[in-house]
Structure 1
Amino acid sequence: MPASLPSNTPPGRPGDPPGTGATWRNKERREPMLTLNRRALLAGTALVWAALPASAASFLDVGEQEPISILINSSPWYGGFEAVVDLYVEQTGNEVSIDATPYAGVLEKARNAVRTAESPYDILNLDQSWNIEFYQQDVLRPLDEVVAGYALPPEVITCGDSYFWNPEKNFRTREGGKLMAVPPNCNTHVLVYRSDVIETPPATYDELLTACQAAQDRPNLYGFATRGERSQGINYDYMPFMLSYGAKFVADAEAGDYTVTINSPEALAALQQFLAVQRSCAPDNVGAMGQGDVIQLMAAGSAAMVETVVAAWANYTDPTKSAVVDTVAAAPMPEGPAGRGVPIGNWHFTIPRNIPDERAQAAMAFMQWFLTRDAQMAYAEAGGIPVRSDVIEELSAEPEYAWMKAYATNLAAGVQALGFAEGASVDQVMALRLNQALIGELSPAAALNTAAREIEAIFAQSGRQTGTLPALAE
């Protein structure tokens, strides 16, 4: 880093008082095993593979880099990421600072970072419902501007192509789009169940309702639960039902048709099924349950089935946290009348424009290292969710990683359900109205009709071609 740090540098950078903010990981620098031509690196040429010992045969030798700071969410998969960062520091001697922030605070910090003269962060981890805002504002560096000609390794999962941005179409698409980010995960739901209670996991949502009612012994054992609190979580956990019933938020966003379709008969049938399962089988306070509550319910052995993101898996297999280590299993999401519906809820490692080139190169070096096969293996072994298909395929054959088969099945059906700039605002509307339906303040039809009118207003304010379907009978 430069000797004189910008005033907006996060606490914890070298020279700041110790113990006051982001955590720096560092190691006494040592000679790299293969010297990297730093002039070539700074000119934007590709990094080279190093002749490393067998224990690190596929790791990338990035050479000596400037320290970097990463803004990331403190989430169920954070422990795996923290472990792989420590491995990077150990292998390279390069310093990394992590600012692990609760979900609700990440967006504000990221917005502030790109609006200042110089970002305090070198990598911003952005949720899939936020990143379009940053793409549109041109505050992030396309990755091939940092390393000329850079493309994702073919084994890396592109998670519905949300890492690409086509400014002419104003849409996230690989077709004509620039690569703007790399995946730290490609999160999807899985159906988590206790194999000692559920002999055969349900294949459909009708079977899910029947199985959860049969399995439960309230209040000792609940048949099923997923998030119900008034946050984006309830909308995300409703989406598998919604998509599997053939419903969606808008008619055809990529083609520019933003007619709101969330109050369709299909969306209503999906919501009615979602409510039936939650009200029949979840705890009475499901309307206030967040992700941590649902995870704890299964980890304590108090639920027969839960719907959680795959990134939560390590919580179920850690013997210090879980009572179901030997019986927990994962299955693909059930199917509805339209098949299997899986929303992708992935994150994006991005590089802000407003940092010096040397810091951008250092950020890129870390991201390239992170996507190597061996780094992804280490990530998975530490509890992270790998983003390489070869790693998923190899590990899924091992009993302790059998959950990856369900993950791979869900990925094949995964879509970006909120793939438009107004996604975060739509999320907020849906969170409120779905929660009101769950706790009985609104009927299912009234909740969807109200949401449709409010979402139409959001699109109209953005200048979209929009409208709504006829109102559902309330």
Structure 2
Amino acid sequence: MNTPRKRVAIAALAVAALGLSACSGGDSGNADGSETIMAVVWPGPEGDAMEAVAKEYNEGQGKKDKVQVKTVLLGREDTFNKEATEMATKSSEFDVYWTASYILEQHAAYLEPLNDVNLDAFMPKAVDALTIDDNVYGLPLDVSMHYLMYREDLVSALLDDESAWDTFGDISEKVVGERLEPKDPNEWTWDDYNATAAYFTQTLNPDSPTEFGTALAGKNTPFNAMFWDNVLWGSGGQWLDGSDAVLDSHAAEKAMEIYQTAYDNKLVPPGSVQGDFNELQASMQSGSIALMQQWAAGYETLNDPEQSPKTAGKLALAPVPGQKAHVHFLAAGLNKFSEKKDAANKWLSYLGTEGAQQSYAEAGGIPSVADVLTKQAENNQVLGHLAEDVDKYGYVEERFNKATQYQGFVALGNALSAGWVGNESIDAALKAAQEAMSELAEK
């Protein structure tokens, strides 16, 4: 996937065209006896990191394997669509496809199970997320997960100042209907989240150092539905019970109330109605908010003194309230119709080594290898958190029989986004979501 932190490479289509003209899937080999394989990568940090690893391979192990890797960029927004066209025609143009755990149901029919590749280095949850019917269809690459990011200086001051707790209790009773006391963010429920956001909202607390308590990603996108899913799962809900949709549950109603409470009480900037990753980042960078849930990838920028002088050194991480965080994995898959499977397997086997994943991390990737992430924590502490937290807090949504998880997120965004921001009733939004999810489950 795309985590929202990652930007489109401007020259993607031009590079793709160059790659396609330079080498096609029909090449029999090179003058030195090596074979060139074509590997689709995603423009942005992932593609840059993969190009660095491919260069290292081509100059080293690739010469021994007699395999050279040519990376191809299809455009960040168009990669999966263009791959779908290639897959539908059983094309051998590309030997390695770019895939993701949330679209694997669509891709699996066109991918070869990775039976010849050792995946022991990777997080078990990553391997499981890329497995269908006991077959692994993707070599895990970047891990994407959400965190609670909060101004530690402000929250710590609140926790230490018991004289402020009565004000906190008054505000929480007004906003969430219960008199609460401040808590360590590692112990928050979603009511604690909204109560703390309310305390740091100036219209409710004129002494608040921030204008708003939090920001929410309210724009109708599949990736913003992943944020709301944390509230659903953290409230005890889920998409399916067996093959039955269960978005008519009390947990789903509670999750919708959490969002509507934030919007109704103006705990969020007005732009949150159309907010996504970038708006969340901007709200925190500007000093306008005290806390938010955000993709792990956003932390490094927010802790950089040059890019984020108002938050660098002041931001802390905790599991999202309810301790349930959406996680998904980008991956490399072997084209079932490739004419160079042996060569592609040699590249994938190399890519599956801890050494190659270490190079991937050093070049800017976020590999699904706990040991590698731990080693990189000195440069970016969120990576150290990921090494431990993916298995501890991460969840992967249920699979449908034929529909993809991505289609599920699209359905949720379409059905619920108006309800998130209070423009539609909770009952109407959840009824639409239940019908859409039931339809996907029946496919």
Partner of residue 43, structure 1? none
Q: Which one has the bigger helix percentage?
A: 2
Q: Indicate if the aligned counterparts of 2:239 and 2:247 stay in contact, CA closer than 8 A.
A: yes
1:126 aligns with 2:99: yes
Equivalent in 218, 224, 228 of residue 214 of structure 2:
224
Partner of residue 393, structure 2? 413
Note the alpha carbon deviations across 1:62-81, whole angstroms, 9 max, x for none. Answer: xx65243314264x655544
Partner of residue 365, structure 2? 384
Note the alpha carbon deviations across 1:12-60, whole angstroms, 9 max, x for none. Answer: 127559xxxxxxxxxxx9x9xxxxxx9xxxxxxxxxxxxxxxxxxxxxx
Equivalent in 349, 356, 359 of residue 339 of structure 2:
356
Q: Indicate if the aligned counterparts of 1:190 and 1:406 stay in contact, CA closer than 8 A.
A: no
Q: Indicate if the aligned counterparts of 1:181 and 1:348 stay in contact, CA closer than 8 A.
A: yes
Q: Indicate if the aligned counterparts of 2:373 and 2:386 stay in contact, CA closer than 8 A.
A: no
1:12 aligns with 2:8: no
* Residues 73-152 of structure 1: pairs in structure 2 closer than 5 A: 74=44, 80-89=49-58, 91=60, 94-99=68-73, 101-103=75-77, 105-135=78-108, 138-144=109-115, 147=116, 150-152=117-119
Partner of residue 319, structure 2? 332
Structure 1 segments, 4+ long, off by >6 Å, are none
Q: How many angstroms does 1:310 deviate by?
A: 1.7
Q: How many angstroms does 1:415 deviate by?
A: 2.1
Q: Indicate if the aligned counterparts of 1:140 and 1:351 stay in contact, CA closer than 8 A.
A: yes
* Residues 73-472 of structure 1: pairs in structure 2 closer than 5 A: 74=44, 80-89=49-58, 91=60, 94-99=68-73, 101-103=75-77, 105-135=78-108, 138-144=109-115, 147=116, 150-159=117-126, 161-166=128-133, 177-199=134-156, 200-201=184-185, 203-204=187-188, 205-217=190-202, 221-252=211-242, 258-277=243-262, 280-319=266-305, 321-323=307-309, 324-335=311-322, 340-357=323-340, 360-396=341-377, 398=378, 400-401=380-381, 404-405=384-385, 408-420=388-400, 421-422=402-403, 423-460=405-442, 462=443
Q: How many angstroms does 1:112 deviate by?
A: 0.8
The aligned length equals 380
Q: How many angstroms does 1:274 deviate by?
A: 2.9
CA distance in 2, matches of 1:87, 1:320: 31
Q: How many angstroms does 1:247 deviate by?
A: 0.7
Q: Secondary structure at the match of 1:296?
A: helix
- Over aligned residues, Cα RMSD in angstroms? 3.1
CA distance in 2, matches of 1:223, 1:123: 45
Q: Structure 2 vs 1, CA of residues 284 and 418 (structure 1 numbering), >3 Å: closer, same or farther?
A: farther
CA distance in 1, matches of 2:151, 2:50: 27
TM-score by length of 2: 0.75
Unaligned runs of 5+ in 2: 1-14, 24-29, 157-183, 204-208
Partner of residue 26, structure 1? none
Q: Indicate if the aligned counterparts of 1:310 and 1:385 stay in contact, CA closer than 8 A.
A: no
Q: Structure 2 vs 1, CA of residues 223 and 80 (structure 1 numbering), >3 Å: closer, same or farther?
A: farther
Unaligned runs of 5+ in 1: 1-8, 18-28, 32-37, 39-63, 167-176, 253-257, 463-474
Q: Structure 2 vs 1, CA of residues 224 and 315 (structure 1 numbering), >3 Å: closer, same or farther?
A: same
Q: Structure 2 vs 1, CA of residues 100 and 184 (structure 1 numbering), >3 Å: closer, same or farther?
A: farther
Letter in 2 for 1:185: D
Q: Structure 2 vs 1, CA of residues 14 and 458 (structure 1 numbering), >3 Å: closer, same or farther?
A: closer
Q: How many angstroms does 1:401 deviate by?
A: 2.1
Q: Secondary structure at the match of 2:105?
A: helix
Q: Indicate if the aligned counterparts of 1:226 and 1:308 stay in contact, CA closer than 8 A.
A: no
CA distance in 2, matches of 1:260, 1:15: 47
Note the alpha carbon deviations across 1:250-273, whole angstroms, 9 max, x for none. Answer: 112xxxxx2110110111112211
Note the alpha carbon deviations across 1:195-227, whole angstroms, 9 max, x for none. Answer: 333325352122211222223458965322232
Once the two structures are overlaid, the 10-residue window that deviates more, 188-197 or 364-373, is: 364-373
CA distance in 2, matches of 1:371, 1:160: 12
**Percent same amino acid at aligned positions?**
18
Q: How many angstroms does 1:406 deviate by?
A: 5.7
TM-score by length of 1: 0.71
Q: Indicate if the aligned counterparts of 2:326 and 2:394 stay in contact, CA closer than 8 A.
A: yes
CA distance in 2, matches of 1:222, 1:383: 33
Q: Secondary structure at the match of 2:438?
A: helix
Q: Structure 2 vs 1, CA of residues 284 and 130 (structure 1 numbering), >3 Å: closer, same or farther?
A: same
